Amino acid sequence: MKNRIWLGFILVLVFSACRKDPKDPLTNQGGTKYVPTVIDPTTIFPVSKFGLPNLPSDNPFTEEGIYLGRMLFYDPILSFDSTVSCGSCHRQENAFADPVKYSNGIYGLKTGRNSSSLINLAYSKKFFWDARQTTLRDQVFEPIQAHNEMAMTLPLLSKRLAKAKRYVEYFDKAFGAEPNVFDMSKAMEQFLLSIVSQNSLFNDFFPGRFSLLNDGQQRGALLFNGLVNFDVPTGLTTGADCFHCHGGALAQQNNPDMGGIANNGLDGSFSDKGYGAITNNPMDRGLFKTPTLLNIALTGPYMHDGRFTTLDQVIDHYSDNMNFQSPTISPMLTAHSSRQLLLSTKQKADLKAYLLTMTDTVFIKNPAYSNPFKK
């Protein structure tokens, strides 16, 4: 009798240890091989608004993979002295940009360019201001090893990850492997690809529901999406032609001939050669990746070097200060007889009102992208 009670007790213990709570990804499944939960990309991407992006075929989204990538993104142990994480320079409240001109990396060092916002990257084909990377999987190794960002070495990082219980567990769940930097980059790729912003007023109206906008926003939309054309009696342009480079639902370069990079007439000579330093072609000097304008109100300072602190300054640049002497300036900007647009004060306000419709306040609070270590 006594033995039977003990046996029953032990069985209960064994069963409760094996029981798995499907909502808790951390639950151990009792020694059987863990099968990660695959996620259908159509549940991640707003297909009707943006279409389905081209995704890497060898790295399907899984709940565990995305979560692992998210932990790594926010974990300072990826930097040599464990003080800097990806999230230090890419802040969710700023649409994953950094609200300073140059970001603070390790040992008080600064980055050489303004931090990029990280949204809808699945729809981008090239990464960094100079478009030097073509996959996010490769991209992540750059900041990790850059001396002024995280200054980490990959052997040391592998060792650190292998020592952390949470990583031993999650690498096993996501990839059936011990912590290693190859799968690390795949997990981060999954997380970065999964960051989607699509809830702004702009994304609700674009392109068909014009009536959602108020009068000023509507006038701004006409300027943004109109070709440059100077009206004879007023001398004012009826369009400012932003859409050729920041067009479509993603408010990003949609002219495939330009490859998503352009010189938007900032400088006559280039202290930062941008894409030209990658290709060594003088015709590419001063060309930079055309950023999305979604969440633009949150991602300042603006341009690759963060030279403008406000959207008003950006609009003044396009309206009044275009450098037509810039040797590689986009033909898109010289199409209008190299004449400054000279928007009126009211037109500038309208254009700004339109840019402000691109802010997605749901996105910046979405818990799926927040720091998992801060509960």
Q: Would you tell me which residues interact with ligand HEC (CB under 6 A)?
A: 73, 78, 84, 86, 88-90, 103, 105, 111, 113, 115-116, 118, 121, 124, 127-129, 136, 139-140, 143-144, 149-150, 188, 192, 240-242, 244-246, 262, 264, 266, 288-291, 293, 296, 299, 302-304, 314, 318, 330, 332-333, 351
Nearer to ligand HEC, 106 or 199 (CB): 106
7 is written with which tokens? Answer: 């046996």
User: What is the Cα–Cα distance from 279 to 132, expressed in whole angstroms?
Assistant: 9
38 beta partners:
62
Element (H, E) at 289: strand 288-289
CB of 114 to ligand HEC, least distance (A): 6
Q: Quick one: which of 135, 130, 136 has its CA closest to 261?
A: 130
Across 313-332, b (16+ Cβ under 10 Å) vs e yields ebbebbbeebbeebebbbeb
Nearer to ligand HEC, 34 or 254 (CB): 254
Nearer to ligand HEC, 174 or 192 (CB): 192
Q: How far apart, in Å, are the Cα atoms of 234 and each of 98, 179, 229, 365, 367? A: 41, 66, 11, 44, 50
Contacts of 99 (CB under 8 A, 6+ apart): 91, 300, 301
CB of 74 to ligand HEC, least distance (A): 9
CB of 327 to ligand HEC, least distance (A): 14
Q: Quick one: which of 335, 266, 358 has its CA closest to 306?
A: 266
Nearer to ligand HEC, 34 or 181 (CB): 181
CA dihedral 122, 147, 80, 119 (to 10 degrees): -20
Element (H, E) at 288: strand 288-289
CB of 252 to ligand HEC, least distance (A): 9
CB of 27 to ligand HEC, least distance (A): 28
CB of 52 to ligand HEC, least distance (A): 19
237 beta partners:
230
CB of 362 to ligand HEC, least distance (A): 20
163 is written with which tokens? Answer: 């020592």
What number of other Cβ atoms are within 10 A of residue 9's Cβ?
Answer: 10
236 is written with which tokens? Answer: 């004012």
Element (H, E) at 12: helix 2-18
Listed in sequence order, the DSSP H helices in 2-135 are: 2-18, 47-50, 63-73, 86-89
Nearer to ligand HEC, 36 or 286 (CB): 286
Contacts of 244 (CB under 8 A, 6+ apart): 254, 255, 332
CB of 275 to ligand HEC, least distance (A): 10
CB of 355 to ligand HEC, least distance (A): 6
Sign of CA dihedral 69, 70, 75, 80: positive
3-class secondary structure, 265: coil
